[in-house]
Amino acid sequence: MRRKTPLLIAMLSFLPVPALAHPHIFIDAKFEVVAAPDGSISELRNVWSFDEVFSSSVLMDYDKAGSQALNASELKAVGKTVRDSLAQYGYYTNVTSNGKAVPMAKPDAIQADYKNGSLILTFSLKPEQKTFLKGTTTFGIYDKTLYTAVDFATDSDMTSSGTALGRCKRKVIRPNPKEVMAENQAALTSMFFSDPKGTDYSLLVATRLEVQC
């Protein structure tokens, strides 16, 4: 039986938080909030490009023909595996509307590609219930277990579109990890050891898009 370690274990295992203090998988991400004409969230578009080490391990697991490439059926299998497995992690997507969490529905599909040594996943998410962009809506793409690092290289990698957003203000928040550590030093011990599925620290240091309407 072919092993599926990278996708089924490396990304998705419930490992103790101390073991996840340093990321093992790295993603260069692009994110877009699309607003519907009525001012609600239409969809959240994601493009994830994985690091070469993780990508090569996926290639090794799914390249059944040994061609050093992934054909259409193999890429489809990768996308299906990630779609099914990352559901329990909310696809690393954390959205709040005026401080209240906004659950996301499972994507219809996750499209996988393999280019220049990198696994690329493309997918869209929609809220489980209609959610209007009123007040402050915050969008964060991060892994609460800290096993996977999601990076937005520039502020332009977190965008928004839709005429309804013309009345809104948006900004990308990039917390300084050193400042976060200094400001929360007393609480970090309890954060790391009280919750085996994730910590508040991931939220404190995550790059986020904030939209005010």
Per-residue pLDDT tens for 138-192? 999 998 887 889 999 999 999 999 999 999 999 999 986 665 555 556 655 555 5
Q: d(Cα 82, Cα 156) in Å, to the nearest integer?
A: 26
pLDDT digits (tens, 9 = 90+) for 109-131: 999 999 999 999 999 999 999 99
More confident position, 13 or 30 = 30
114 burial type by CB count under 10 A (0-12 exposed, 13-18 middle, 19+ buried):
buried
- Does the pTM surpass 0.85? The reply is no
Name residue, tokens 């595996």. Answer: 81
Instruction: Please count the residues of the chain.
Output: 213
Q: d(Cα 187, Cα 7) in Å, to the nearest integer?
A: 32
CA 162, 169, 98, 33 torsion-angle sign: positive
Among 172, 173, 148, smallest CA distance to 90 is for 148
Contact, 38 vs 164, CB < 8 A?
yes
Among 123, 211, 207, smallest CA distance to 164 is for 211
Domain boundaries of the chain, sorted by first residue: 5-212
100-101 vs 111-115, strand pairing mode:
unpaired
Q: Residue 178: what are its φ and ψ, rounded to 5°? A: -65, -40
